[in-house]
């Protein structure tokens, strides 16, 4: 059995899209570590590269996209580590990893589920593809997993179609399909975006409890730092295809070092702010075909310094107190008393 606590190691991952407008560096040198049995959240605005990172892990990038460089290394509980980026596209190992050992909860259940097949057929298909069982055994396991994710009357639901279920129930079905093969890693790509707040809270609690009970590791993708506070152990903040801050979740929320993380936190609505204008991050995420020089956040940053923040290559992540990393060259000036390691 492998004793290393890192189940997924991403090193300098680069995923580019070649378009008529130019080269889009959707993921530009991302490095992450997912520890076994923990939840790592990737947070950032739309267009920052979160979902592309997740799709790159499972080699689901479609043309004109291509993984240009870097590595994704999966270390299972049993067996040797697997470099996913080096596997042939149609290899048995990649087939075993994708959906078997690493599974994904997609953002929109109506596009993830087939409208012309019953719920039972779709869950049973996932079981039969990755496990050596009979159809009767697969149906029994499908009914069992539907019950575990909180769907009432799971035996009757097996013969329903996705359009016969509510949005919250469809999302639970997608979660059931992702969990039915007992994966070691679960990638959740904004699984609560289209749900109301009550159902959102239920889904978050469900993912957290299933992760705890099954000992799985979770890569949780979201744009909401409020959600991160509820589910994550660590958080990585992305901006324009790069990680700009990474830390244990309590550290990042209490003492954000990068101005972008601080701006995201300030924009969260608060009860005590009733009647006040909501804080916003000025401007918008630049086009990925026209990334500014220097720190990519500098055009929107209140702390940007001309001639320093807007020149040269993007600043790299630097290690600060404990496990706290940030990619801002003015951290010491902005946060007096923070000492670089």
Q: What number is the average pLDDT over the span 315-323? A: 88
Q: Please say if the pLDDT value at position 68 is more than 60.
A: yes
What is the DSSP pairing of strand 325-326 with strand 102-105? unpaired
Q: Is the model more confident about 289 or about 36?
A: 36
Q: Which of 56-70, 92-106, 175-189, 206-220 has the lowest mean pLDDT?
A: 206-220
309 in a domain, yes or no?
yes
Choose from 15-24, 190-199, 209-218 the range with maximum mean pLDDT.
Answer: 15-24
307 in a domain, yes or no?
yes
CA atoms within 13 A on the CB side of 97: 29
pLDDT classification of 317: cutoffs 50, 70, 90:
very high
From 181, 212, 237, give the residue that closes a domain: 181
Q: What number is the average pLDDT over the span 74-102? A: 91
What is residue 341's predicted lDDT score, i.e. its pLDDT? 46
Helices (H) and strands (E) in the chain, counts: 12, 12
50 in a domain, yes or no?
no
How many angstroms from the chain centroid is the CA of residue 29?
A: 16
What is residue 275's predicted lDDT score, i.e. its pLDDT? 64
How many angstroms from the chain centroid is the CA of residue 202?
A: 19
165 in a domain, yes or no?
yes
Q: Sort residue 90 into left (φ over 0), alpha (ψ -120 to 50) or beta.
A: alpha
From 153, 181, 209, give the residue that closes a domain: 181
Q: What number is the average pLDDT over the span 199-222? A: 84
102 in a domain, yes or no?
no
Q: Is the model more confident about 309 or about 3?
A: 309
301 in a domain, yes or no?
yes
DSSP annotation of 307 reads T
218 in a domain, yes or no?
no
How many angstroms from the chain centroid is the CA of residue 81?
A: 21
DSSP annotation of 295 reads S
46 in a domain, yes or no?
no
Mapped onto helix, strand or coil, the DSSP state of residue 193 is coil
Q: What number is the average pLDDT over the span 239-255? A: 94
What is residue 273's predicted lDDT score, i.e. its pLDDT? 61
Q: Is the model more confident about 275 or about 75?
A: 75
Q: Please say if the pLDDT value at position 167 is more than 60.
A: yes
Q: Which helix (H) or strand (E) holds 14?
A: strand 6-19
Q: Please say if the pLDDT value at position 337 is more than 70.
A: no
Q: Please say if the pLDDT value at position 260 is more than 60.
A: yes
From 148, 181, 214, give the residue that closes a domain: 181
What is residue 268's predicted lDDT score, i.e. its pLDDT? 79
Which stretches of 75-196 are DSSP H helices? 92-97, 109-112, 119-130, 135-148, 154-157, 167-179
Q: What number is the average pLDDT over the span 149-174? A: 91
By C-alpha distance, which of 208, 260, 265 is closest to 237?
260
CA–CA separation, 147 and 153 (whole Å): 8
* Model pLDDT for residues 288-304, shown as the tens digit of each residue: 888 899 999 999 998 99
Residues 6+ apart with CB under 8 A from 24: 16, 17, 18, 288, 289
pTM of the model: 0.88
Q: What number is the average pLDDT over the span 115-144? A: 93
What is the residue range of 158's domain?
109-181
What is the domain count for the chain?
2
């Amino acid at each position: 059995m492998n004793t290393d606590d890192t189940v997924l190691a991403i090193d300098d991952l680069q995923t580019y899209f070649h378009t008529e407008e130019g080269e889009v560096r959707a993921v530009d040198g991302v490095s992450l570590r997912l520890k076994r049995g923990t939840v790592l959240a990737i947070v950032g605005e739309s267009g920052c590269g979160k979902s592309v990172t997740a799709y790159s892990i499972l080699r689901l990038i479609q043309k004109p996209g291509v993984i240009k460089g870097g590595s994704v290394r999966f270390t299972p509980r049993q067996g040797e580590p697997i470099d996913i980026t080096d596997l042939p596209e149609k290899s048995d190992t990649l087939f075993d990893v994708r959906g078997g050992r690493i599974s994904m909860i997609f953002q929109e259940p109506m596009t993830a589920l087939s409208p012309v097949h019953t719920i039972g057929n779709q869950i049973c298909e996932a079981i039969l593809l990755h496990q050596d069982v009979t159809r009767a055994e697969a149906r029994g396991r499908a009914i069992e997993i539907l019950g575990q994710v909180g769907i009432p009357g799971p035996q009757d639901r097996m013969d329903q179609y996705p359009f016969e279920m509510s949005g919250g129930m469809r999302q639970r079905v997608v979660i059931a399909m992702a969990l039915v093969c007992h994966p070691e890693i679960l990638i959740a790509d904004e699984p609560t975006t289209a749900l109301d707040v009550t159902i959102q809270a239920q889904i978050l609690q469900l993912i957290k409890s299933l992760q705890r009970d099954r000992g799985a590791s979770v890569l949780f993708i979201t744009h909401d730092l409020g959600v991160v506070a509820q589910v994550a152990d660590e958080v990585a903040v992305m901006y324009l295809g790069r990680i700009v801050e990474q830390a244990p979740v309590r550290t990042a929320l209490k003492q954000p070092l990068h101005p972008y993380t601080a701006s995201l936190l300030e924009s969260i609505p608060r009860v005590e702010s009733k009647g006040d204008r909501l804080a916003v991050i000025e401007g918008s995420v630049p086009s990925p075909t026209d990334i500014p020089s220097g720190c990519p956040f500098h055009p929107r940053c209140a702390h940007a310094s001309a001639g320093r923040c807007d020149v040269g290559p993007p600043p790299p992540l630097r290690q600060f107190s404990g496990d706290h990393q940030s990619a801002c060259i003015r951290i010491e000036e902005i946060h007096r008393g923070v000492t670089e390691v």
